[in-house]
Amino acid sequence: MDKNIAKVSIGLALQSAIINDREVETLVDLYTEPNLDETKRLHDRLVVSLSHFDREIAIWLEPLLAHGRLNLDPKKLTKEMNEMEFLLYNLIYRAGDAQQEINDWMNCIANAAESLADGFWIDAKILLSQALEISRSAPVEHLKSRCDFSHQLDILQRGTEEYFEEMKKYSLTPVIPEGRLEALLRVQKTMLDLMRGRDQTRQKEDEAIGIVIRRLNTAIRLLMNESKELNAACQELQLAHDHLDEIKSTTAEEAKRELRECSGSIEQLEETKALEKNVD
């Protein structure tokens, strides 16, 4: 895989690790210098973890490994998950102290089915990983100890594990729209630098940084989606830049400069595409 495309996937894994307070040292090294063997070792260790947060990192790394089948037909799996959503819904109001967990489990299954149907397969994997963890939580296990819930919950737990195991067989390569990769990498690096340097003890600054990070994350998703216009990403970068004005630090000034340059390159790309369209 192209080194720069690899950095996008590693960057998404690093973003997940920072958000969920996982170990980041290995990911930082891989982001600086992608290495397939090291990535595989890290993935293989995390993907079997009992923690959803570890498995989520592994899922973001999977596109680098190029393993598994690529001809997934999601219709059957989506239909089965929609049926499970209905069964979980019927349990919610009888679940007592486990009501919140059953509701969260149902929402993860429902959102995974929707993501799968819409083609967002990596998101579907992550949601199923989260559903698996919730399905094994202490409140659910306590509810399962009751004879009137035991059989049905056992079936639902095994079904959730089977869905996740099925999705694990599929590996996807991120498709970055033509001309957007350089801008995407620059925005991602700026966001990761802000995330790693965030000082949560300075409340006002931390709130502003949080808003900037959310805007940059949205810009990244827009740049990765070919159906989204480039000016939408530019608007997010401008909003992020405006919030950085509230922060007085060298890091913020560097981020502002980087975002101005990114916006300029995206606007130039947009103008080039407009000219090509007119010529056609």
For 259-269, how does the pLDDT look when each residue is reduced to its tens digit (9 = 90+)?
Answer: 888 887 787 77
pLDDT in tens, 122-139: 889 999 999 999 999 999
Q: Helix count (H) and strand count (E) of the chain?
A: 13, 0
Inter-residue contact 38 to 26 (CB < 8 Å): yes
pLDDT at 278: 57
Inter-residue contact 73 to 48 (CB < 8 Å): no
pLDDT in tens, 41-94: 999 999 889 899 999 999 999 888 865 555 566 788 899 999 999 999 999 999
Question: Rounded distance, CA 210 to CA 34, Å?
Answer: 27
pLDDT in tens, 9-51: 999 999 999 999 998 999 999 999 999 999 999 999 998 898 9
- Give the C-alpha distances (Å, rounded to integers) separating 210 from 56, 100, 196, 234, 246: 21, 27, 12, 19, 12
Bridge partners (DSSP) listed for residue 69: 170
User: Average pLDDT of 224-232?
Assistant: 85
Angle separating helix axes 230-244 and 181-196, nearest 10 degrees: 30
Strand residues in the chain grouped as ranges (E): none
pLDDT at 65: 81
